[in-house]
Amino acid sequence: MAAQKFLANPPRFLFFTGKGGVGKTSVACATSLTLVSLGKKVLLVSTDPASNIAQVLGTSIGNTITAIPSTPGLWALEIDPEEAAAAYRERIIAPVRGLLPDVELSLMAEQLSGSCTTEIASFNEFTDLLADPELTAAYDHVIFDTAPTGHTIRLLQLPGSWTDFLNEGKGDASCLGPLSGLEKQRATYARAVDALKDPLATRLVLVSRAQSSALKEASRTLDELASIDIAGHHLIVNGVLPQSAGDDALTQAIRSRKQQALAAMPENLRGLEIDTLALKISNMVGREALLSLLSEEQELSPAIHTEVAPIFHEAPLRVMVDAIEADGHGLVLCIGKGGVGKTTVAAAIAAELAQRGHDVTLTTTDPAAHLSDTLQEEIPRLSVSRIDPESATQEYRDQVMRTKGKNLDEVGKAALWEDLQSPCTEEVAVFQQFSRAVHESMKRFVVVDTAPTGHTLLLLDAAGSYHREVARQMGDSMSFITPLMRLQDPVATKVLLITLAEPTPVTEAAELQEDLRRAGINPYGWVINNSIAAAQPESPFLQQRAHNERTEIERVKSLTPHYAIIPLMTEEPTGAARLKAVLG
């Protein structure tokens, strides 16, 4: 096994973070297995609301610490937001059950049912692992596989945010309901902050691909972490094309793109300890595949590598855009796992609709999105916006002060302003701006590049909570339309699930489709992005990767009535001309 700098003298806690789709879960799992092979006892923890470590390790895990049968010495935990929130509600309500009327208990449960409470509940489990030595005393190392960067930065900021909120004497946030337990967490939050800032206790490892967008995101992450006194010293560049991949035209083009991205690496990353991991022939699922990730050795399968890759021409994205255009206006949501190309697909659809003469808004809810980098130029009739959590929160606070605070005295205004400093306010503010985008789609096309799956589900959960509250207040006396109702309307909204032809993204998209259907939202179709098979590779290495795609492409076709396949492009799909090529 090659010596990896990030594994030299590892501290107790290791965090892996980065842009969606860069391979954080694979690296975290491979690291865990490697440490176990050295005789260490390891707890692997996922803080991603859309965790897939169970699939990667090939065993069921869940919201309790679970021993991995195939690997003695390894335990895993997926912090499930919904289960954490349910347990949290029960801890708050149980002491007063039987003492308060049912009506008040129902009100408490309603106050504790929003996405903000879900976040706090998950966050408490995360901080407990960092701050309570007894919880992790049985393990030599605790490995954190985190959510995509924007969500992780929020998670890492929360201990300080809640500590400040409590230290400054501010009362319980109204959106949280009667959370008397929050004050009791003060010491835990403080210990969690100390652990995160101590390089002897915690090592934060940035994971990236040799892609400009992923490296820029790693650079921004490094700066944001420094602003909250958390230092990052290690960078892993994953998925580097090995020399054994060959030198046909497609392979040369891919290698050239990666080399150009690395040559233009942001300056603040150059001073880090850098490891590179080669792209593997097989998908990173199962113990043997994961152990190979940190190794430089791999072999082609002689039974497969000479086989000509299948050609897919039957499902260009252009056909899907034709169907979207037929409605004249509406909402298009591009949803999926991080790193599958949601931004590229959303930009290609929006640019095409604008070039066909429609008024279009392209917006993003992803803190790590790079729409301007993808478009690179202004396109007539296309406006670009971003739902920025920080500006959305400030706008929301100002709005509440203008309305609810209008007739309050100075003491009342001060109390209201303090309440609005709660970290929970951000969730409400982002949902409000998302609702505006939904409303705007009644008159024009609005294409939304969403945050990676877990964060998007929290946003949709907020839409459900808002819908239930409006329905409760309106009753049967008045008609109303909520954002959720627009999302449930197949004419008003087209939900596109974006994926790669790989097991993990397809499985996650399939699970997301079921989650959406339970919420009454039926996805319109799927888009398979960056298909090697559709690019018709000639090198044995890429042909074998193409062969691996076959099963997943057939699986997608069985899950949806509409699908599109976008081949892996020889050039980065940025700018109007290259985005048009994405349409097929």
Whether residue 26 lies in the annotated active site: yes
CA dihedral of residues 157, 160, 161, 163 (deg, nearest 10)? 160
Q: 87 vs 52, 79, 94, 136, 244, CA distance in Å?
A: 22, 12, 10, 20, 51
Q: Are residues 289 and 321 in the same domain?
A: no
Residue 308 pLDDT level (bands cut at 50, 70, 90): very low
Residue 365 pLDDT level (bands cut at 50, 70, 90): confident
pLDDT given at position 562: 95
Residue 100: strand, helix, or coil: strand
Q: Are residues 576 and 531 in the same domain?
A: yes
Element (H, E) at 104: helix 102-111
Span 134-147, average pLDDT: 87
pLDDT single digits (tens) 42-55 = 999 887 756 667 77
455 or 434, greater pLDDT: 434
- Non-local (6+) Cβ contacts of 271 within 8 A are none
Q: 323 vs 318, 402, 524, CA distance in Å?
A: 9, 43, 10
Span 255-264, average pLDDT: 89
Q: Are residues 487 and 559 in the same domain?
A: yes
Tell the residue number behind the tokens 């082609």, with chain if given: 300
Most confident stretch, 109-113, 394-398, 482-486, 495-499? 495-499
Which residue among 248, 278, 293 closes a domain? 293
User: How many Å from the N-terminal Cα to the C-terminal Cα in the chain?
Assistant: 42
Q: How far apart are CA 62 and CA 78, in angstroms?
A: 5
Question: Which conformational region is residue 246 in: left (phi greater than 0), alpha (psi within -120 to 50 degrees), or beta?
Answer: left
Tokens of 18: 């980065």
- Non-local (6+) Cβ contacts of 87 within 8 A are 121
Q: What letter would DSSP give residue 176?
A: G
Element (H, E) at 530: strand 525-531
Burial of 53 by CB count in 10 Å (0-12 exposed, 13-18 middle, 19+ buried)? buried
Q: Are residues 277 and 324 in the same domain?
A: no
Span 219-247, average pLDDT: 85
Domains contained in the chain, number:
2
Whether residue 17 lies in the annotated active site: no
For residue 470, pLDDT beyond 80: no
Question: Of the residues 20, 21, 246, 338, which is catalytic?
Answer: 21
Burial of 403 by CB count in 10 Å (0-12 exposed, 13-18 middle, 19+ buried)? exposed
Tell the residue number behind the tokens 């179709």, with chain if given: 525
pTM above 0.75, yes or no: no
Q: How far apart are CA 509 and CA 558, in angstroms?
A: 13
Q: How far apart are CA 52 and CA 580, in angstroms?
A: 33
Q: Could you tell me which of 120, 139, 136 has the C-alpha nearest to residue 42?
A: 139
Whether residue 258 lies in the annotated active site: no
Q: Are residues 281 and 356 in the same domain?
A: no
pLDDT given at position 155: 54
* Contact in structure between 569 and 578 (CB atoms under 8 Å): yes
* Contact in structure between 511 and 483 (CB atoms under 8 Å): no
Domain assignment present for 391: no
Question: Of the residues 20, 32, 48, 422, which is catalytic?
Answer: 48
Span 244-273, average pLDDT: 88
Question: Of the residues 17, 19, 20, 24, which is catalytic?
Answer: 24
Q: How far apart are CA 171 and CA 173, in angstroms?
A: 6
pLDDT single digits (tens) 78-133 = 877 677 777 777 777 777 777 777 777 776 666 666 555 666 666 677 778 887 88
Question: Of the residues 18, 20, 23, 464, which is catalytic?
Answer: 23
Question: Of the residues 251, 482, 504, 574, which is catalytic?
Answer: 504
For the chain, what is the mean pLDDT? 79
Q: Are residues 240 and 337 in the same domain?
A: no
Span 381-386, average pLDDT: 87
Question: Of the residues 18, 20, 25, 251, which is catalytic?
Answer: 25
Q: What letter would DSSP give residue 97?
A: B
Q: How far apart are CA 116 and CA 458, in angstroms?
A: 9
pLDDT single digits (tens) 150-163 = 455 555 555 555 45
Q: Are residues 280 and 324 in the same domain?
A: no
Minimum mean pLDDT range among 160-169, 348-357, 375-384, 549-558? 160-169
Q: What letter would DSSP give residue 26?
A: H
* Contact in structure between 14 and 233 (CB atoms under 8 Å): no
For residue 172, pLDDT beyond 50: no
Q: 225 vs 228, 233, 264, 269, 404, CA distance in Å?
A: 5, 11, 22, 13, 35
Domain assignment present for 415: no
Whole-number percent of the chain with pLDDT over 90: 24
Q: How far apart are CA 130 and CA 123, in angstroms?
A: 11
pLDDT given at position 70: 84
Span 138-161, average pLDDT: 67
Q: Are residues 239 and 379 in the same domain?
A: no
455 or 486, greater pLDDT: 486
- Non-local (6+) Cβ contacts of 546 within 8 A are 309, 310, 532, 533, 535, 537
Q: What letter would DSSP give residue 233?
A: E
Residue 228 pLDDT level (bands cut at 50, 70, 90): confident
Please report, as a single letter, which amino acid is at residue 237.
V
Q: How far apart are CA 12 and CA 7, in angstroms?
A: 12
* Contact in structure between 560 and 523 (CB atoms under 8 Å): yes
**Structural domain of residue 469, as residue ranges?**
317-386+443-582
pLDDT given at position 1: 41
Domain assignment present for 101: yes
Q: Are residues 355 and 242 in the same domain?
A: no
At 478, which CATH number? 3.40.50.300
Q: What letter would DSSP give residue 340?
A: S
283 or 300, greater pLDDT: 283
430 or 570, greater pLDDT: 570
Domain assignment present for 408: no
Cβ-based neighbour number of residue 465 at 10 Å: 19
Give the β-pairing of 232-240 and 273-278.
parallel
Domain assignment present for 437: no
CA dihedral of residues 428, 433, 437, 439 (deg, nearest 10)? 70
Q: Are residues 368 and 276 in the same domain?
A: no
Domain assignment present for 417: no
Whether residue 21 lies in the annotated active site: yes
Q: Are residues 270 and 212 in the same domain?
A: yes
Residue 175 pLDDT level (bands cut at 50, 70, 90): very low
Q: Could you tell me which of 121, 233, 249 has the C-alpha nearest to residue 535?
A: 249
Whether residue 24 lies in the annotated active site: yes
Domain assignment present for 215: yes
Question: Of the residues 17, 18, 20, 26, which is catalytic?
Answer: 26
Whether residue 504 lies in the annotated active site: yes
Q: Are residues 184 and 59 in the same domain?
A: yes
Domain assignment present for 434: no
